[in-house]
Amino acid sequence: MSTDNQTTSVDEPDAESEFDAAELQALRERVEELEESLAEADAGDDQKKMTIVATQGSFDMAYPPLILASTAAAFGWEVVVFHTFWGLDILHEEKSTNLKLSAVGNPNMPVPNAVAALPGMDTMATKMMQKKIDENGTATIEELIDLSLESGVDLQACQMTIELMDYDEDDFYDGVTTGVGAATALQHMADSDIQLLV
């Protein structure tokens, strides 16, 4: 027993240092492996994602989400626009071509609110804006929707609001995603680099 013990005690330091070298080598290999997979993961994360929540359906407020969405798609980003409440009208084939600008409560209008409240003032304000947009070569809402869908933007129509407004799923442009709710929107927002509420 004592001889055995002695042998072991003499051999132990050697055995330990051999094991250390092997362990060290294994660790080095593991670190290299991890660094490689980290580099791959970083490269994969390069894909930017943006989620916009569009809640407004007036003529002027329809533009910002669509312009940002189509431009982001041109950058190759993954884009979701979740349309809810009045924002739904932007995706509504019939209503989208007839969105109005509000003359009342609009500090940019050259007339006082009392005058802006008169019948026909919203239509007039919308026509003025429409004329400016045509003159400026700014795209129409329809064009921007088509472009967005063509370039892979996911235009979503909130299911709860579809029912609230008594709309039909067929009322929307082809390619619009229906049957989605707040949980879907939140999921996209959580996964996104950029989240905007318009």
Nearer to another protein, 151 or 195 (CB): 151
Residues in the chain: 198
CA dist., res. 52 & res. 147, Å (int): 16
CB of 121 to another protein, least distance (A): 27
* Tokens, residue 2: 């004592």
Q: Residues of 15-27 as b/e, b for ≥16 C-beta within 10 angstroms?
A: eeeeeeeeeeeee
Cβ neighbours of residue 2 closer than 8 Å, sequence gap 6 or more: none
> From the CB of 111, what's the least distance to another protein, in Å?
27
When computed from its CA atoms, the radius of gyration of the chain, rounded to whole angstroms, is 30
- 147: closest CA among 100, 94, 195, 79? 79
Question: Smallest distance from the beta carbon of 76 to another protein, in angstroms?
Answer: 6
Closer residue to another protein (CB): 53 or 66:
66
- Residues making contact with another protein (CB under 8 A): 46, 67, 70-71, 73-76, 136-139, 144, 147, 151
Tell me whether residue 105 or residue 137 sits nearer to another protein (CB atom): 137
Query: 78 near 49, Cβ under 8 Å?
Result: yes
The nearer residue to another protein, 46 or 174, going by C-beta atoms, is 46
Tell me the closest approach of the beta carbon of residue 24 to another protein, in angstroms.
Answer: 39
How many angstroms separate the CA atoms of 59 and 159, rounded? 22
Nearest approach in angstroms of CB 66 to another protein is 9
Between residues 103 and 147, which has the closer beta carbon with respect to another protein?
A: 147
190, exposed or middle or buried, with CB in 10 Å at 0-12, 13-18, 19+?
exposed
Q: Least distance (Å) from another protein to the CB of residue 130?
A: 15
Token couple for 137 = 């070569």
Q: Identify which of residues 11 and 143 has a Cβ nearer to another protein in the complex.
A: 143
